[in-house]
Every structure is written in structure tokens, then in C-alpha cells.
Structure 1
């Protein structure tokens, strides 16, 4: 780090690109008093696995200019004041709106966003260079009210085992909040519609095997005290909170890749910007090599075709999406009965 460029500011040379950090002492996380500069230092410490996980992908920014306890908004578009070296890519929202999103090209891009008060990077499921290909299956295990983390752990292990049965290797990370995310890196063969269809089939298969523990029901009123397998996180243009990214929580929790051997003991709330760098230095990256072993989605797509041939309709889509072929009525069952 260099000398301040103006009172209180710092300029960081990031592999030849200078990034200015203004107000580095501003407190971003109230629980331990960590600052914007502490957040910068965190991303410097985890740069290698972070960029291995999200590098080259467009990002949706979650901005908290006054820290995790302050006001916030989501930002899809890079501002017009962005520096000339910044890389962006055109992305499309579910309603068809286009915008030029920041691309996780290198760490300078990330620290530039952190300086804007970005606490939270939501990642598109494709690389900016190949937007037509979704190369990640993202299984978001979402606990319904009344469901504890022990049940989420159990469903994560069941998801891993079911995928392993059909030859798909999966990795896991904490969400940074109450859930877990199970990922599989895919061969570059499928688009987001196909990946979502595979996720729907997986969710339904898990529900059939473990109906008291797992639900694939989109409507909250039907889920009960079960873990919801959120297949719609794989819908086209949908972003998911990124690996190694810091959550906008006062404790600065991190969405942390973990080893499957840690699943039964991990405490997600203890994985913070204060603890994750040392943990990485000691244990290494649990997701190392994920890109070198892309997985085939064919078995899950076979399940999807089997379900449709057996008379099942597609699962409901989120309300922001246009009506899809073979989709059931997009209305909660209780309301449908009243109508």
C-alpha cells in the first residue's frame, strides 16, 4: 500500500492497477468494528480461491456505503464514472432489461467495487465470454421456518450422495446465513433452461426419497418444516451469492467453501473475515480443482424427461419471469382453491 493520495485515502497497486480506497477507516461491520480497509485486506488474503470461483463472471453488486448496518441497494450497472480499465459485460434481467455489469476480471475490479461500499457479490452462472452457457449447477438448500441447521446439513449430505450415484461430483459452501449451497461445475454444453430443468428433477428426486425432510414445493404454504431445494436459483439470469464473498451482516460472515468432512461440525457464524484467511492458509481451498473436473448433466436431464413423460408439469417459475411452456398455474394453491 502506498502513501495516502488525499487525507485518509489509500492507493493500492493491484498487479499494476492502482485502486484508491477512500475512507478506509469507516466501520463496515459493527460486531467487531471491522472497517472498509479490513474488507479490502480480506479479499487480498483470499484472492486466489475467490477468483478461481467467480473470476470472469458478471456480478450483481449489493452496496452498503455506510456499512452492513446502513441503507443498501442492488446495482446491476457499472456507473458511468467507472475507470476506463474496468471490464463490463451485457447481462439480461428476467424481464428482458439489459445492463452492463461489472465482470470479476481480477482483484482490482473487486477492490474497486468494495470502495463503492459493495458488501456482497451475486454471481451470474456463466462466464462473460460465453453467456449462452451455464456451467454451474447451484443447489440452494433453504431452511423453512422451524428447520434447524442440523437438518440442512443432513440434506446437503443426501444431495451429495444422490448426485454421486449418477456420477456427479459436488462441492459445498456455507451461504453466509442460514443455509448451504451445493455446487457442481459443468461441462460447457447446457444453457440455464436445461440446468434449471436438471435442478427441478434433482429436487423432486430428493423429495421422493426423503419426504419428511426435503421439499421441492415452490409455494411456502406447502413446504412445512422441511428444507426447500430452491431449483429456481438456476433460472436464466438468476444470480447466487458468491463463494468467498462477505455477507452484509454485522458479524462479517463469509459464504465459505468447506470440505465434506467438515459438514457435521462447521459453525457458519464463525466463518468471518476475521477467521477465514487463517483457515484458508491452514486447510487450503476445499474447491481446488473444481474447474478441472467439469461434470455431465445428462443423468438429471434424463430424470427431467422421465418426470415430464410421466405427467408432471414443470415447476412454477418466479413471478418476474414470463409464463413458461408446460408451467402450472402461477398461483398459490390456497388462492387457487378460493378462485
Structure 2
């Protein structure tokens, strides 16, 4: 029986999306309605790609970044220029109804651009995705996150930790919208290569799987035009309905897994203070001097 949440009509609201007996489509829609005040600052007016799982997380899922005629009206479209010069429609949400509309299409993950639609060429976030080799534990990933935090802080960039809901961590630096994509990408690449060059036994800055044995991959590739990263408070398409959850540096040591928080934990989590509120007054950016500094260090200069 259809139901309506945030003005969006849900078909099959009782359909399990995270395995038999797990949270339903209506549960997921209510989640976004409940976390609206927390999630909208990260997703509103930002291009978003969806991981859609029409038959739930246990069946085939697919990635969708372009709009189409069958998309609900609450999920907006913006025509942008592709790298090859062509034009195509991309998706974004203007309010919480857009996210619920994505749920109606069985979208279990929301992946966001690093810039907003009004200034698409100037990112407002820097993201390092720490992806550990399978033989490493979460403690290794946490240690890597703290080390990146300290090294970025020494360069003048404050950061926040995000549990991705998978096995890794994101180290996120909110930015003022000054630098354009090429400069932010150059800094991210140079910083990751600098850390990997200094500690090659612990870190790698190359995406190749055969390079990661016993190491943490510092994925800097989220920091280029068109790249995406999991949105804070988005679920992941996995049994248990883990949620990508913002945490504080102070509580990170006591967390045992990146998938620690699930849909079931969110009501209690929302009763606590926003761990990322501390960043509301931060004013920082990626400067040409920072790009030069990490490029020189990574090359041994």
C-alpha cells in the first residue's frame, strides 16, 4: 500500500531493502526525513549520484548520475558540460523531498560532488578516503586518519573524520570556495604522494590493488571535477543498513568499525550534539603555496 513521506508517494513502502527482515523503503525515507537538518547542509544543491538497488542490497545494484524522463519531479536536474565538451543532465536535491524521491527509486547510497551547483568549478570540501588492505584492522585505519589529521593541521587545514559505513574512513577538510578543481586536485595528489614517499611501508598513493599489500591507500582521487564521495548520513547498500556517520576526533579512538552506526542507531545519535558543528566557523582554503609545498616535499625537493 502506497504511503507519503515528505510529499513523495512511496510505492511498496514495506519492501525490505537491506535483506529479509531488515529496514524497508519507508524506514529509509523516514531516516532522511529525521536527519534532514544534519544531511541537507551536505547534499542540498550539490550534484549527486545514486546507487540504486531495485530488489534490495542482496541483488543487482547500479550507479546512476544522469537524469531521465522517469525521474521523480522532486529530484532536480542540471545540465552541465562533460569533460568531452558534451552536455548532459545531472541530478541534485533542493530539499528533503529530493532525497525521499531517490528512496522511491530504491537508491540506497548517495554520493556527492565536492562543489555546489551555483559555483561548480570551486569545491568546498577536500576528501581523503583511507582504504586499507584487507589484512589490516580498523585500528590501522584510525591511526592513518589521525596521522593525516596532524599533517594537514601542520599545513593549516583543519579536518573532520567520517565513518564511511564500509571499512574505511574519510578525512574531510571543509574549504572556502576560492580555489578551482585543478589546484585542489594538485594539492590532494601531492599530499598523498608526500605521505606515501615518507612511509612507503604503511601508505600508498596509487589505486592499483597489487600495490596495497599491508598498506593503506590514501585515495586522493575524490578531489577532481565529477568525482564523488559518500554523503554524510547516507546509508550503504549492505545488510544491517550501515550509515556513513560524522564523528569527532575525540570519539574516534573508541569506535570499533567504520560500520558502527546503522539506521537503528540514528534516532539516539541525533539526540547528541552534532560532532561536526565545530567546523561552522572555520575559514580555510587550498592555496598555491600549499600546492607548491607538498609537490616539493613529495619529489624530495
Above 0.5 in TM-score?
Answer: yes
1:213 aligns with 2:206: no
1:47 aligns with 2:36: yes
Q: Unpaired runs of 5+ in structure 2?
A: none
Give per-residue Cα distances to partners, 1:309-332, cap 9 Å, x unaligned.
Answer: 768xxxxxxxxxxxxxxxxxxxxx
Matches of 2:274 and 2:262, distance apart in 1 = 16
In the other structure, the counterpart of 2:249 is 260
Higher radius of gyration, 1 or 2? 1
Q: Cα–Cα, structure 1 residues 31 and 269, in superposed 2: closer, same or farther, change >3 Å?
A: farther
In the other structure, the counterpart of 1:128 is 117
Structure with larger RCO (C-alpha < 8 A, sep 6+)? 2
In the other structure, the counterpart of 2:262 is 272
In the other structure, the counterpart of 1:316 is none
TM-score by length of 2: 0.92
Please state whether the residue corresponding to 1:228 is helix, strand or coil: strand
Matches of 1:248 and 1:278, distance apart in 2 = 22
Once the two structures are TM-superposed, the CA of residue 205 in structure 1 deviates from its matched residue by: 2.6
Give the number of equivalent residue pairs: 299
> What is the aligned counterpart of 1:138 among 127, 131, 135?
127
Q: Cα–Cα, structure 1 residues 248 and 95, in superposed 2: closer, same or farther, change >3 Å?
A: farther
1:198 aligns with 2:191: no
* 2:160–2:248 CA contact under 8 A, matched in 1: yes
Matches of 2:213 and 2:83, distance apart in 1 = 28
* 1:49–1:288 CA contact under 8 A, matched in 2: no
In the other structure, the counterpart of 1:223 is 212
Please state whether the residue corresponding to 1:137 is helix, strand or coil: strand
Q: Unpaired runs of 5+ in structure 1?
A: 1-7, 312-339
Q: Cα–Cα, structure 1 residues 85 and 42, in superposed 2: closer, same or farther, change >3 Å?
A: closer
Give per-residue Cα distances to partners, 1:125-150, cap 9 Å, x unaligned.
Answer: 11011111112111000112322111
Matches of 1:83 and 1:42, distance apart in 2 = 19
TM-score by length of 1: 0.82
Aligned residue runs from structure 1 range 263-302, under 5 A: 263-266=252-255, 267-281=257-271, 283-288=272-277, 290-298=279-287, 299-302=289-292
